[in-house]
Amino acid sequence: MAVTRCVCFRKSLSELKDLAAQRGWTSVDEIAAATGCTTGCGACKPYVAAMLATGATCFAVKRANEELPQACTPDPWDRGA
Ligand code: FES
């Protein structure tokens, strides 16, 4: 299973990446302030940070020993992610 979105605020990482590029956001705090993403359950926070750091919008579930989640290919049913 891949992580491609903030479930709490219903925004895909692709949407957040596009918004960040359009509005000049470069930090998780800026994305959080504008969209709410990362401020609900917080589970998406490392993935939003990894999206900003790498440009990827699909990640394998982060393992405890990984500093950042690893990019992966979206599942076939989640290609719009
Ligand atoms: S999944 Fe993003 S705040 Fe819960």
pLDDT digits (tens, 9 = 90+) for 23-80: 999 999 999 999 999 999 999 999 999 999 999 999 999 888 988 899 998 888 876 5
pLDDT at 5 over 90: yes
| Nearest-angstrom CA–CA distance, 58 and 50 | 10
Q: Is 72 in the pocket of ligand 1 (CB under 6 A)?
A: no
Instruction: Say what the pTM is.
Output: 0.91
Q: Is 43 in the pocket of ligand 1 (CB under 6 A)?
A: yes
Using only C-alpha atoms, what is the Rg of the chain? 12
Q: Is 49 in the pocket of ligand 1 (CB under 6 A)?
A: no
Domain around 33:
2-78
**How far, in Å, from the CA of 55 to the mean position of ligand 1?**
19
The total number of structural domains in the chain stands at 1
Asked if 38 and 45 touch (Cβ cutoff 8 Å), the reply is: yes
